[in-house]
């Protein structure tokens, strides 16, 4: 018997997203494995620059239960080096082509805020756009999203690409996040984009305390009537609070993902697929 006891009425009306010729049912929890093809992502073991290592990691994640692989060529950790568009584009195209050839049926997401990278990624076989900027950093991304209408992950953040990790003041963080995302969701729907996931943006433009305040109000984000993606995996909101390192933050990650699962989140973006699959199997 499932411990979640979730009724269908608790999910958004649009919980089936079109992926190519198939529908992805987001009433069932889904796992998104993180594949970084950048050189300085905050969690060192996730950096997979060489083709052989990339394929080994992708194969392991798929075997362990990943439904989606999220490929990122631009590190968004605090203090990360800014890289040129051409470098990100080349990294992402090569990674997608390599993985798509080996695993033709896997769902691929591209983690980018740049329109040119998103367009090239889709043309090379990516199925989703995962945008940390909410269409704010690069105006050209809006036209790409409108043209291709692939599922789009809208993440909450503030500032520009250079200051998205700065400390910001919120009147009431849960209400402020909902308000900002509601406006962006309407903008996307006006573009004809309806397969929208929302990501509260844990770790972006928020202090550790603000992250946990937002976490407590996670269920309120269902007011936006979009499936929710969460990305806690080994982030500083865990290891700073516990006084440990990212390498030691798996247990804390599992605790927060369990809370999010109990609050009916749909996609879990993680470095550690096996552990997330065990959480879902135990509670479903």
* 114 noted as active-site residue: no
Choice among 114, 158, 235, 264 that is catalytic: 235
Q: Which of 101, 88, 90, 92 is nearest to 122 (CA)?
A: 92
Question: Using an 8 Å Cβ cutoff, are 4 and 284 in contact?
Answer: yes
* 235 noted as active-site residue: yes
Tell me the two tokens of residue 247.
């390498």
Q: Which of 107, 33, 102 is nearest to 72 (CA)?
A: 33
End-to-end CA distance of the chain: 7
How far is the CA of 138 from the CAs of 85, 133, 221, in angstroms?
A: 11, 8, 26
Query: Cα–Cα–Cα angle for 115, 224, 222, nearest 5°?
Result: 120
Choice among 48, 206, 269, 277 that is catalytic: 269
Q: Strand 68-72's sheet: what is its strand order?
A: 196-199, 152-155, 128-131, 107-111, 68-72, 30-36, 267-270, 229-230
In whole angstroms, give the CA distance from residue 235 to residue 42. Answer: 8
Catalytically active residues are: 235, 269
């Amino acid at each position: 018997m499932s411990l979640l006891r979730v009724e269908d009425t608790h999910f958004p009306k649009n919980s089936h997203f079109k992926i190519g010729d198939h529908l992805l049912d987001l009433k069932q929890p889904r796992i998104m494995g993180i594949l970084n093809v950048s050189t300085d992502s905050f969690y060192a073991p996730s950096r997979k620059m060489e083709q052989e290592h990339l394929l080994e990691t992708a194969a392991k994640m798929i075997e362990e239960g990943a439904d989606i692989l999220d490929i990122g060529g631009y590190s968004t950790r605090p203090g990360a080096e800014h890289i040129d568009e051409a470098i990100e584009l080349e990294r992402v195209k090569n990674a997608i082509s390599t993985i798509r050839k080996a695993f033709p049926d896997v769902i691929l997401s591209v983690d980018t805020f740049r329109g040119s990278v998103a367009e090239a990624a889709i043309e090379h076989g990516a199925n989703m756009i995962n945008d940390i900027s909410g269409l704010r950093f690069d105006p050209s991304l809006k036209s790409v999203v409108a043209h291709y209408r692939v599922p789009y992950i809208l993440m909450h953040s503030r500032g520009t690409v250079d200051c998205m990790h700065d400390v910001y003041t919120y009147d009431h963080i849960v209400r402020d996040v909902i308000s900002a995302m509601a406006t962006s969701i309407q903008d996307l729907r006006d573009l004809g984009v309806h397969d929208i996931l929302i990501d509260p943006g844990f770790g972006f433009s928020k202090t550790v305390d603000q992250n946990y305040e937002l976490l407590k109000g996670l269920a309120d984000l269902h007011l936006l009537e979009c499936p929710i993606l969460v990305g806690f995996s080994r982030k500083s909101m865990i290891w700073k609070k516990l006084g440990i390192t990212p390498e030691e933050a798996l247990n804390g990650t599992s605790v927060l993902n369990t809370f999010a699962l109990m609050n009916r989140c749909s996609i879990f973006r993680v470095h550690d697929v096996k552990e997330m699959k065990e959480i879902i199997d135990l509670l479903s």
